[in-house]
Structure 1
Amino acid sequence: MPLLLFWLLTGCSVTKTVPADDALFIGYSVKVEGKNDSSKRSAELETELSATVRPEPNTSILGLRPKLAIYNAFYTEKEKGLKHWIMTKLGEPPVLISQVDTGSVSQVMSNRLHNRGYFNNTVGSTTEVDTTKKKATINWTARVGEPYRLRNIKYTLEDSLQVHKAIKQTQETSLLKSGEPYDLSVMTDERLRIDGVLKNEGYYYFSPDLLIFSADTTVGDRQVDVLMRIKNIASSQALQPFALDDIFIFANYSLGDSLAVRDTIDFQGYHYIPNEEYLKARHLLDGVFLEQDSLYTRENHLLTIKRLSGLAAYKFVNIDYQPDTANSGKLDAFVFLTPALKKSLRAEAQMVTKSNNFAGPGLKVSFRNRNTFRGSEVLNVEFTGSFESQVGGRGTGEVPEGVEPPKKSGIPSYELGVQTTLAIPRIVSPFNLRNLRTEFVPQTRIGLGFNFLSRSDFYQLNSYNATYGYTWRPKETLTFDATPINLQYVRLANTTLAFDTLLARNPYLRSSFENQFIVGGIYQMTYTTQMYKDRSSNVFDRITLDMSGNVVSGFQSATGKPKPTQQEPRVLYKDRYAQYVMLDNDFRHYLNLGTESQLVWRLATGVGYSYGNSRTMPYVKQFSIGGPNSVRAFRARSIGPGTYNIPDDQLFSYFDQVGDIRLETNLEYRFPIAGFFKGAVFADAGNIWNVREVLDEKGEPLKPGAKFEAKDFLSELAVGTGVGLRIDVEFFVIRLDLGIPVQVPFLPKGERLVLDKFNGSFGGDYGMVLNIAIGYPF
Structure 2
Amino acid sequence: MRGSLSLMCNWAKIGLLLLMVSISGCNTLKKVGDDELLLTKNTIYVDDEKVTDGEIKGLIDQKPNSSVLGYPLRLNLYNMAKENPDSSFQDWLHRKQKREKRLNNLLSKKQVSRLQESFIVKGASEFLERVGEPPVVIDTALTNKSLNRMEAYYNSKGYFNNTGDYEIVESKRKKRAKVEYNITLNKPYIIDTVQKNITSPELDSIYDVASKRSFVKKGEQFDLQNFTLERERLTTLFRNSGVYNFQESSINYDILRDTTRLADDQLMEVQLNVKKFRSATDSTDTNSTYRVARHKQVNIYADYDINGDTDSLKTLEYDNFIIHYANKLRYSPKALADAIFFEKDSVYRDLDRIRTYRQITNLNTFKYPNIEFIPDSTQTKLTTNVYLAAKKKFSLNMNFDVTHSNIQQVGTAFSTSVITRNVFGGAETLNVSARGSIGLLSDASLSNETFTSELGGDVNITFPRIWLPFSTEKIIPYYMLPQSRLLAGTNFQKNIGLDKQSLNSILSYNWTPSDRLKNNFELLNVEFVRNVNPDNFYNVYRNTFSNLDDIADQFQDDPAYADYFKNVDDSTDPLRLDIPEGANNFVRDILNDSIQVSTEEFDEVNSIEERRRRLTENNLIFASNFTHTKNSKSDINDNDFYQYRIKVESAGGMLSLIANAVPYNKNDNGQLLVFGVPFSQYVKSELDYIRHWDIGGSQVLAFRSFFGMAVPYGNSNSIPFVRSYFAGGSNDNRAWNAYELGPGKTDNINDFNEANLKLAFNLEYRFPIAGDVKGALFADAGNIWNVFDNENNPDAIFSGFSSLADLGLGTGLGLRYDFTYFVFRVDVGFKTYNPAKVGSDRWFNGYNLGNAVFNIGINYPF
> Which residue is 2:782 aligned to?
686
Contact 2:200 2:291 in 1 (8 A): no
Pairwise CA distance, 1:271? 3.0
Pairwise CA distance, 1:572? 1.6
> Which residue is 2:431 aligned to?
380
Q: 1:61 to 1:507 in 2, by over 3 A?
A: closer
> Which residue is 2:859 aligned to?
775
CA distance in 2, matches of 1:582, 1:143: 59
Q: Which amino acid in the other structure matches residue 341 of structure 2? A: F
288-297 or 48-57: which moved more? 48-57
Deviations 1:456-496 (A, max 9, x none): 5x531111111111011222222221111111111111333
CA distance in 1, matches of 2:42, 2:515: 40
Q: 1:57 to 1:375 in 2, by over 3 A?
A: farther
282-291 or 372-381: which moved more? 372-381
**Residues 210-249 of structure 1: pairs in structure 2 closer than 5 A:** 210-218=250-258, 220=263, 221-231=265-275, 235=286, 237-249=288-300
Using the size of structure 2 for normalisation, the TM-score is 0.77
> Which residue is 1:634 aligned to?
736
SS at the partner of 2:468?
A: coil
Q: Which amino acid in the other structure matches residue 366 of structure 1? A: T
CA distance in 2, matches of 1:542, 1:24: 48
SS at the partner of 1:64?
A: coil
Q: 1:52 to 1:318 in 2, by over 3 A?
A: farther
Contact 2:276 2:287 in 1 (8 A): no
Tell me: higher relative CO, structure 1 or 2? Use CA pairs within 8 A at least 6 residues apart: 1
Pairwise CA distance, 1:174? 2.1
CA distance in 2, matches of 1:353, 1:540: 33
> Which residue is 2:132 aligned to?
91
* Residue 383 of structure 2, aligned match among 325, 332, 345: 332
- RMSD, aligned α-carbons: 3.4
SS at the partner of 1:506?
A: helix
Deviations 1:575-595 (A, max 9, x none): 222222222222222222225
CA distance in 2, matches of 1:344, 1:272: 27
Q: 1:211 to 1:524 in 2, by over 3 A?
A: closer
Deviations 1:147-196 (A, max 9, x none): 11111211135x88333222233322222222212223322322332222
Pairwise CA distance, 1:752? 4.7
CA distance in 1, matches of 2:462, 2:213: 43
> Which residue is 1:268 aligned to?
319
Q: 1:437 to 1:165 in 2, by over 3 A?
A: same
Deviations 1:718-760 (A, max 9, x none): 322111112221212222111111233333x326514144343
Using the size of structure 1 for normalisation, the TM-score is 0.85
In the alignment, does 2:540 pair up with 1:490? no
> Which residue is 2:598 aligned to?
none
Q: Which amino acid in the other structure matches residue 490 of structure 2? A: F
Q: Which amino acid in the other structure matches residue 274 of structure 2? A: I
Pairwise CA distance, 1:661? 1.7
CA distance in 1, matches of 2:626, 2:59: 49
Contact 2:447 2:536 in 1 (8 A): no
Q: 1:114 to 1:307 in 2, by over 3 A?
A: same
> Which residue is 2:714 aligned to?
612
Contact 2:717 2:789 in 1 (8 A): no
**Residues 29-40 of structure 1: pairs in structure 2 closer than 5 A:** 29-33=43-47
614-623 or 83-92: which moved more? 83-92
Pairwise CA distance, 1:8? 7.3
**Residues 175-214 of structure 1: pairs in structure 2 closer than 5 A:** 175-214=215-254
Q: 1:718 to 1:233 in 2, by over 3 A?
A: closer
Q: 1:125 to 1:164 in 2, by over 3 A?
A: same
Runs of 5+ consecutive residues of structure 1 not aligned to the other structure: 36-41, 397-403, 696-700, 762-766
In the alignment, does 2:192 pair up with 1:151? yes
* Residue 58 of structure 1, aligned match among 62, 65, 70: 65
Pairwise CA distance, 1:431? 0.9
> Which residue is 2:847 aligned to?
758
Q: Which amino acid in the other structure matches residue 487 of structure 2? A: G
In the alignment, does 2:422 pair up with 1:422? no
> Which residue is 1:514 aligned to?
617
CA distance in 2, matches of 1:750, 1:694: 29
Q: 1:115 to 1:722 in 2, by over 3 A?
A: closer
> Which residue is 1:705 aligned to?
795
SS at the partner of 1:107?
A: helix
Q: Which amino acid in the other structure matches residue 283 of structure 1? A: A
CA distance in 1, matches of 2:142, 2:735: 51
SS at the partner of 1:316?
A: coil
Deviations 1:358-408 (A, max 9, x none): 7864524232426241433333333333456899xxxx9xxxxxxx96546
Q: Which amino acid in the other structure matches residue 461 of structure 1? A: K
CA distance in 1, matches of 2:147, 2:358: 44
> Which residue is 1:745 aligned to?
835
> Which residue is 2:825 aligned to?
735
CA distance in 1, matches of 2:387, 2:343: 16
In the alignment, does 2:38 pair up with 1:24? yes
Q: Which amino acid in the other structure matches residue 777 of structure 2? A: V
Pairwise CA distance, 1:444? 0.4
Q: 1:236 to 1:359 in 2, by over 3 A?
A: farther
> Which residue is 1:294 aligned to?
346
Q: 1:475 to 1:497 in 2, by over 3 A?
A: closer
Pairwise CA distance, 1:443? 0.9
> Which residue is 2:503 aligned to?
464
Deviations 1:102-123 (A, max 9, x none): 3444333333333322222222
Contact 2:194 2:271 in 1 (8 A): yes
Pairwise CA distance, 1:511? 3.2
Runs of 5+ consecutive residues of structure 2 not aligned to the other structure: 1-12, 87-118, 279-285, 539-579, 588-607
439-448 or 752-761: which moved more? 752-761
Q: 1:160 to 1:55 in 2, by over 3 A?
A: closer
Q: 1:743 to 1:454 in 2, by over 3 A?
A: farther
Q: Which amino acid in the other structure matches residue 772 of structure 1? A: I
Q: Which amino acid in the other structure matches residue 263 of structure 1? A: K
74-83 or 165-174: which moved more? 74-83
CA distance in 2, matches of 1:279, 1:85: 60
Pairwise CA distance, 1:409? 4.0
Pairwise CA distance, 1:639? 2.9
Pairwise CA distance, 1:535? 6.4
* Residue 156 of structure 2, aligned match among 115, 120, 124: 115
Q: Which amino acid in the other structure matches residue 717 of structure 1? A: L
CA distance in 2, matches of 1:676, 1:3: 28
CA distance in 1, matches of 2:380, 2:507: 48
682-691 or 16-25: which moved more? 16-25
Deviations 1:560-609 (A, max 9, x none): 658x5653422122222222222222222222222532222222222222
Contact 1:635 1:769 in 2 (8 A): yes
Q: Which amino acid in the other structure matches residue 209 of structure 1? A: S
CA distance in 2, matches of 1:182, 1:406: 74
Pairwise CA distance, 1:100? 3.9
SS at the partner of 2:388?
A: strand
Pairwise CA distance, 1:272? 2.6
Q: Which amino acid in the other structure matches residue 306 of structure 1? A: R
Q: Which amino acid in the other structure matches residue 689 of structure 1? A: W
Q: 1:138 to 1:519 in 2, by over 3 A?
A: same
SS at the partner of 1:658?
A: coil
Deviations 1:671-702 (A, max 9, x none): 2212221211112222222225757xxxxx5x
Pairwise CA distance, 1:5? 7.8
**Residues 369-768 of structure 1: pairs in structure 2 closer than 5 A:** 369=419, 371-373=421-423, 374-387=425-438, 406-407=446-447, 409-411=449-451, 413-434=452-473, 436-437=476-477, 439-456=479-496, 459-496=498-535, 499=538, 500=580, 505-531=608-634, 537-559=640-662, 566-645=668-747, 654-655=751-752, 657-692=753-788, 694=790, 701=792, 703=793, 705-747=795-837, 749-750=838-839, 752-761=841-850, 767-768=851-852
Q: 1:612 to 1:430 in 2, by over 3 A?
A: same
Q: 1:486 to 1:2 in 2, by over 3 A?
A: farther
